[in-house]
Amino acid sequence: MRSTWLVALGLAACGTDPPGASSPRTYSFGPITIAPNTEITDRCVQITLGNDQPLDINQVELATGPGFHHSNWFYVPESTFPGDDGVYHCADRGFDQASAAFAGGVLFAQSTQSQHDIQAFPAGAAVEVPAHQKLVATIHLLNATDTAIEIQPTMTITPIAPAAVTTKLRPMAFEDHALGLPPNARSRFTLDCDLQQPWELHRETNRSDHPDFHLYYALAHYHAYGTGMTIDAVATDGTAATMFSTAAAIGDSLGGTLDPPFAMTGYTRLRFSCDYTNTSTTTIGWGNGAAEMCVFLAFTDSDYIWTGGAITDDPPGPATPDGGVMTYSHACSPLAI
């Protein structure tokens, strides 16, 4: 059963905004108490950076604790979603992830149930956070035990000096909501996304005829039945190259730095697949809790923010057996913003 949970609001920041602002900054938020047998998906966190100058973030480190299932982090102007720093009900400030992304940008996503996660870019690559920003995040808390959990998470951001920046990064995020994991079976769900079509919409400003950028970092997101993800680049003749793959289970890091970065030159499609082993007796669809997800976040040096996928909870369609794995594919709708 679900029960009430208590959260003690509060946030302490270590560090100020010295000239250059190129040393790590650590912020503590909490303590957070999660009651037994409780899942919480409607809380958010705010951390005011107090930065009078832009910050070029090369690394983000999040240390949480048991019960901290997942979190997505954005930067927004200090005046957005006004209120005190700390943990709060998202609805009280009209917070949603789409609004945060448009008001500012994406900074970091946590691996599912990982208690210590590091998002690191190659030397010289960074996400630029403008002056006078704050960090905001949705947090997913899950305590499946019969004992209350108290945690004191910390977020550490590491900027680099402006003179050291060689590459400014932008986010890429794709989702596949068309899931239907068959019971007592292994399955794979694939989206094949044609990036050439949205690229053509920006023909007048593009420097090349085909998608031409690099991926620097990628992170998979799935739940307990997930067994892996693969992201491939595909050329017009069907030739494919793997950009990123993981077979890690939740609780481990599901992200990785691509060093050297993967060049999309010569490829026009992005194909990603999520693998699952459903040990239950029911079909499992998209959602929180005991449901599943298939999402990846990446950072690129593209002029655009790439996003899309299958973003409605459609049925997965017919299955094709392949070596004991039930495989599914669905139409993908990519956007270049």
Fold of the domain spanning 6-163: Jelly Rolls (2.60.120)
* Edge-to-edge strand ranges of the sheet holding 325-330: 240-246, 226-234, 269-278, 185-194, 325-330, 320-322
For 252-311, give the secondary structure using H, E and C. Answer: ECCEEEEEEEEECCCCCEEEEEEEEEECCCCCECECCCCCECCEEEEEECCCCCEEEEEC
**In the chain, % of residues over pLDDT 90:** 86
Entry pTM: 0.89
**CA–CA gap between residue 122 and residue 168 (Å, rounded):** 11
List the chain domain ranges.
Answer: 6-163, 169-336
Mean pLDDT of 33-53: 95
CATH 2.60.120.230 assigned to domain 169-336? The reply is yes
* Confidence bin at 21 (pLDDT 50/70/90): low
Residues 280-300: pLDDT tens digits?
A: 999 999 998 789 999 999 999
Residue written as token pair 């900027």: 159
Residue 106 has pLDDT above 60, yes or no: yes
Radius of gyration of the chain (CA): 20
Encoded amino acid at 199, one letter:
W
Mean pLDDT of 25-35: 94
Q: What local confidence, expressed as pLDDT, does residue 207 receive?
A: 80
**CA–CA gap between residue 300 and residue 121 (Å, rounded):** 10
- Mean pLDDT computed over every residue of the chain: 92
Extract the tokens encoding 60.
Answer: 């983000």
Closest CA to 125 of 156, 170, 73, 155: 170
Mean pLDDT of 211-223: 96
* Confidence bin at 278 (pLDDT 50/70/90): very high
Residues 146-196: pLDDT tens digits?
A: 999 999 999 999 999 999 999 999 999 999 999 999 999 999 999 999 999
Q: What local confidence, expressed as pLDDT, does residue 164 receive?
A: 97
Q: How many helices (H) and strands (E) does the chain have?
A: 2, 27
Extract the tokens encoding 247.
Answer: 């077979």
Residue 1 has pLDDT above 60, yes or no: no
Q: What's the half-sphere exposure (Cβ side, CA atoms, 13 Å) at 3?
A: 13
**CA–CA gap between residue 262 and residue 18 (Å, rounded):** 35
